[in-house]
A = this chain, B = another copy of it.
Amino acid sequence: MVDPVRIAVVGGGYGAKVALPAYQELEEFEPVAVWSRRPERAREVAEQAGVELGTSDFEELLAVPGLEAVHVATPVVTHLSFATAAARRGLHVLCEKPLGDTLVEARRIVAAIREAGVVGVVGYELRLKETRQRLIDRAREVLGHPRMVAVSLVQADHADPYSRPYTWVHDATMGGGRLQGYGVHDLDMLLEILPDVEAVAAATEVGVTMRTTGGDELRPVTAEDAYAILLRFRGGGLGVVTLVATARHPRGDLVELHGEGGTVRLDAEERVWWGRAGEDLQCEGPFDSSSSEAFKRLACMFWAAIREGKPPAPSLEEGLRVQAVFDAVRVADVERRWVRPEPATVWP
């Protein structure tokens, strides 16, 4: 019988909708508190989940007796304050991706967690999907030196002003946008295979510029709903990472990896194609591609790091690695130039 970790979920969006149900289902966790900016939302989530405390007072949450861990799932620009406050109270931290709004913020989060000596992991669960796990494994087997790699996502959930109501993810000043929503996951996956990015160029765009608040009003959207990133890998090889969330017709994610040693491809039907140079491509799958299953895997890894001392994963270092490239993408987009990612170390 496992010894459950007493955890609090911070954030009334993804945290309440995806993380909390998973924690309730898993015997490895006992959710004991929920924080949301709005008190009524906090209470509502807590009540529905049968969790004792629903609050918008973070100090109250941190003071819950026996609390061991915190899952920070708030707007990106607020990660720094929530995650560092929790770590300084000696709580283990699962911080949503990206770690911070900038590399500097991410470094401070990592420094605070290290200093506190607690366990820290980053919410890059999408790499734990069966599809992506198999892709990563096969790539490590056969890819070799990269020649061209591409990740292409086509989603329709932002295609018109009424397709999804306005939240902080549509607000650039809150750290919103599809890059923080999906782009960092895709970069994380690529960096698992090809960690050496030499430089990036990028373009982002707001295609649907107004969005419903749920009522009659439309609010201006300032965070990108489409992006295209070029990567040059150190030692050679090109990469392209694109997403459009405003397509009129969605399709499954495509990942294609072409290397000197061979080819690996994830197709829109969740199958993995792979083969070495000179051999035919083989097809495996379809594999499970559920995000919620992937999150449960990540949660169990968090538990194992806390209870069994296993190496935390996805690690803070991996979180910084993505953040460095993400930061470079933001600068590249704003300054309209190629940018070399900074080294993904803590200091500085």
Let me know if B199 and A244 touch, CB within 8 A.
no
Cβ of A202: which chain B residues have Cβ within 8 Å of it?
230
Cβ of A227: which chain B residues have Cβ within 8 Å of it?
238
CB contact under 8 A between A340 and B345, given known A238-B203, A238-B205? no
Q: Interface 1/0s, chain A 225-257, versus B by CB < 8 A?
A: 011101010111111101010111100000010
Interface stretch of the complex, out of A11-19, A59-67, A327-335: A327-335
Let me know if A258 and B246 touch, CB within 8 A.
yes
CA distance A108 to B345 in the complex (A): 9
Main secondary structure of the interface of A (DSSP, over half): mixed
Whether a CB of chain B sits under 8 angstroms from the CB of A281 is yes
- Which residue of B148, B210, B235, B263 contacts A222 across the interface (Cβ within 8 Å)? B235
Let me know if A199 and B148 touch, CB within 8 A.
no
Cβ of A105: which chain B residues have Cβ within 8 Å of it?
343, 345
Whether a CB of chain B sits under 8 angstroms from the CB of A102 is yes
- Which residue of B107, B206, B207, B338 contacts A347 across the interface (Cβ within 8 Å)? B107
Cβ of A173: which chain B residues have Cβ within 8 Å of it?
196, 234-235
Of listed A159, A160, A171, A223, residue having the most chain B CB within 10 A: A159
CA distance A139 to B102 in the complex (A): 28
CA distance A74 to B166 in the complex (A): 39
CB contact under 8 A between A249 and B275, given known A207-B147, A337-B337? yes
Whether a CB of chain B sits under 8 angstroms from the CB of A306 is no
Cβ of A222: which chain B residues have Cβ within 8 Å of it?
234-236
Cβ of A108: which chain B residues have Cβ within 8 Å of it?
345, 347
CB contact under 8 A between A248 and B275, given known A107-B347, A256-B154, A347-B108? yes
Whether a CB of chain B sits under 8 angstroms from the CB of A322 is no
Let me know if A347 and B226 touch, CB within 8 A.
no
List residues 301-348 of chain A with CB under 8 A from any CB of chain B.
330-331, 334-340, 342-343, 345, 347-348
Cβ of A263: which chain B residues have Cβ within 8 Å of it?
247-249
- Which residue of B240, B331, B342 contacts A228 across the interface (Cβ within 8 Å)? B240
- Which residue of B246, B248, B258 contacts A244 across the interface (Cβ within 8 Å)? B258
Cβ of A210: which chain B residues have Cβ within 8 Å of it?
209-210
Let me know if A203 and B201 touch, CB within 8 A.
yes
Whether a CB of chain B sits under 8 angstroms from the CB of A285 is no
Cβ of A275: which chain B residues have Cβ within 8 Å of it?
248-249
Residue of B nearest to A259 (CB): B248
Whether a CB of chain B sits under 8 angstroms from the CB of A145 is yes
Q: Interface 1/0s, chain A 98-137, versus B by CB < 8 A?
A: 0001111101100100000000000000000000000000
CA distance A340 to B145 in the complex (A): 30
Whether a CB of chain B sits under 8 angstroms from the CB of A298 is no
10 A-B contacts (beta carbon < 8 Å):
A105-B343, A105-B345, A210-B210, A228-B240, A232-B334, A238-B244, A249-B281, A334-B338, A335-B337, A336-B337
